[in-house]
Chains A and B, each alone.
Chain A
């Protein structure tokens, strides 16, 4: 019997699954908690001095 190869869907990935579960888990986080996480993320990316995207004109 011929086996049917599962086709690749670029929108059904490990990233989609992990991110969705994580987003739902964070549903009840307060604004303060989200800000705290964002600041920690910025520190991981840029260290203490943050670099922002310039405004678009």
Chain B
């Protein structure tokens, strides 16, 4: 059986760098489950942007991530330029269907990247992503023949990982039926 693959959003990595209790716990549980941990292009770009904020706590945390990411056993998933067009089209559909706001367009891209990296889960504390209409999100992923990545919060993920020896399956609780427009 393929190992669980989990894409980590920027916020999770920063939390790990700052020794946030829930991030440390989840990271340990994921390694215990022999999960494959990845970080995608957008998260890396965001970390680099934070690292450029000289003499700030942001810089310090981002540099800690870069320094420890290999020790944390987190690999880099490289999204090819060919896939970027698909990811942008996917993001535009999410915006059109109001799954995400136009001002949060990078949320859509990081979900698309996690899907192209074939992640089972995208672990994030991003409020807009967590609160996005998951049924429409799943619809667009399926409709565009994309890998069905689950966007989950830390709170939900801890519960899933602790729920038993089996790998977490799709977290489809709270789905609402709504007809997408594209």
- A: which residues have CB within 8 A of B? 8-16, 18-20, 22-27, 29, 31, 34-35, 37-38, 40-42, 44-46, 50-53, 56-57
- A11 contacts which chain B residues (CB < 8 A)? 125, 127, 130, 153-155
- Chain B CB within 10 A, most for which of A15, A20, A34, A57: A15
Q: How far apart sit A54 and B18, CA to CA, in the bound complex (Å)?
A: 29
- B61 contacts which chain A residues (CB < 8 A)? 15, 18
On whether A27 and B44 interact (CB within 8 A), knowing A37-B49, A56-B118, the answer reads no
Q: Are B22 and A10 in contact (CB under 8 A)?
A: yes
Interface size for B (C-beta < 8 A) is: 53
- A24 contacts which chain B residues (CB < 8 A)? 103-104
- B: which residues have CB within 8 A of A? 2, 5, 9-18, 20-23, 36, 38, 41-42, 44-51, 58, 61, 66, 69-70, 75-78, 84, 103-107, 117-118, 125-127, 130, 153-155, 158
Q: How far apart sit A19 and B50, CA to CA, in the bound complex (Å)?
A: 9
18 A-B pairs within 8 Å (CB atoms) are namely A9-B155, A10-B23, A11-B154, A11-B155, A13-B23, A14-B14, A15-B11, A16-B126, A22-B49, A23-B104, A23-B107, A26-B46, A26-B106, A27-B106, A41-B48, A46-B76, A52-B77, A53-B75
